[in-house]
Amino acid sequence: MPLILSQLNAAIAAMRALLPLEFPADAIIRRFFRDNAILGVQDRAFIAEVVFGILRHRFFLESLAHPVTPRALVLAYLVKYHGLNLREFDTFISESEKKWLAEIKAIKIDELSLSIRAELPDWLIEKLKINLSDEQILTLGLALQKTAPLDLRVNTLLAKRDEVIAILQEEGIDAQITPYSPCGIRLAGKPMINRHELFLSGKIEVQDEGSQLLGYLLAPKRGEMVVDFCAGAGGKALLLGALMNSKGRLYAFDVSEKRLSNLIPRFKRSGLSNLHIQRINDENDSKVKRLSGKIDRVLVDAPCSGIGTLRRNPDLKWRQSSQSIEELKTKQSAILAAAAKLLKPGGRLVYATCSFLDEENQDIISNFLNSYPQFTVLNSTELLAQQKITLDTGEFLQINPQQHQTDGFFAAALVRSG
């Protein structure tokens, strides 16, 4: 489709609204679309693709643009990554811009620095170099630059995966089973699934396959007492409820009223009757303490840097820093310690993050075990095998986009012995 001047101007305006990333990019773009309601579906799709494409390739694009302006970033992105021919810009750009864009088109990215090729900030590359070679960092960076697929979770209370796939395929939607999750479906492209009857009736939810695997690692049983300690908008809580066949008692805790309010309509669609949504002030809230020693299973999807989700949230490269990770580590340790007190002897806890940094993952677990010797690590590969999931990443669950086509996730399963 040829470039339209109005689309170009709208993309530049959206980029201007986005920078300097004072809020999450998806929230800024939603507000931009709300304020520009005249934009059509195709215009919105174009703008979203351009804006998030720029964020994925911003290090390279900013190394070329002098000065760095929203217009320069949009033009450079369209030429270098969107595949637009310079002739399509003839009536839109000046002669000097035409010359500059021709030079950009000729640049070979593989001759540039590791930070620019991997599209990762220097602070993150320094952290990754502790465990990874430059080649491994580049492989990871390139995987994180790609657009994430759209994964669905079938609500097994209301539907079977084969039935859902058949319905989607009959409608011309390319839907396949996910490689690991027994209830996952992966779609090609980005159909408007949130308007589909399967979604509106609660039979499917949008959820990355990696996130789904956390539920199978916790493996709650019917009739148990279970807590999702950092429930957020509740995707994992809904999965846990389905795995429990809505039998037993399931608590969804979170400090954010807004996030929990997003769970309420999903809960109503889900067919669950055993979910109890509760806002807490912090990890030491009285609502938490009254359950001490009573819970069979606890999921701690801890607040983290989120850098395992850079395919979906590329703005995190600028919104996180070494300092913010230090603050998160303190919070992660406190939440894990508080959540562990909920478990009865023999209970299982799964600690998880969407990060691939040891300091948010293995180091947190190691420090916890030093302070709480009554806990031991369970082998995640063996636990998943018990759920008929063949995925061997060693003692911990460690998955990433370049190997598993999921977001980057870490999880450790712990059992309380006494």
pLDDT for 1 equals 52
Domain boundaries, the chain: 5-112, 209-416
Take residue 177 and report the two structure tokens written for it: 């089973």
pLDDT for 189 equals 84
pLDDT for 87 equals 81
pLDDT for 64 equals 86
Taking only the tens place, the pLDDT of each residue in 43-73 is 999 999 999 999 999 999 999 877 889 999 9
Catalytic residues: 354
Question: With bands split at pLDDT 50, 70 and 90, how would you rate the model's confidence at 86?
Answer: confident
* CA 132 to chain centroid: 22
Say which range, 10-24, 90-104, 193-207, 266-280, has the weakest mean pLDDT.
90-104
Q: Which CATH number fits domain 209-416: 3.30.530.20, 3.30.70.20, 3.90.15.10, 3.40.50.150?
A: 3.40.50.150
Question: With bands split at pLDDT 50, 70 and 90, how would you rate the model's confidence at 85?
Answer: confident
Give the CB-side neighbour count of residue 169, counting CA atoms within 13 A: 11
Question: With bands split at pLDDT 50, 70 and 90, how would you rate the model's confidence at 2?
Answer: low
Taking only the tens place, the pLDDT of each residue in 291-337 is 999 999 999 999 999 999 999 999 999 999 999 999 999 999 999 99
Segment 27-48 shows an average pLDDT of: 95
Taking only the tens place, the pLDDT of each residue in 112-154 is 999 999 999 999 999 999 999 999 999 999 999 999 999 999 9
- How far is 340 from 375, CA to CA, in rounded Å? 9
- For residues 189 and 24, the model is more confident at 24
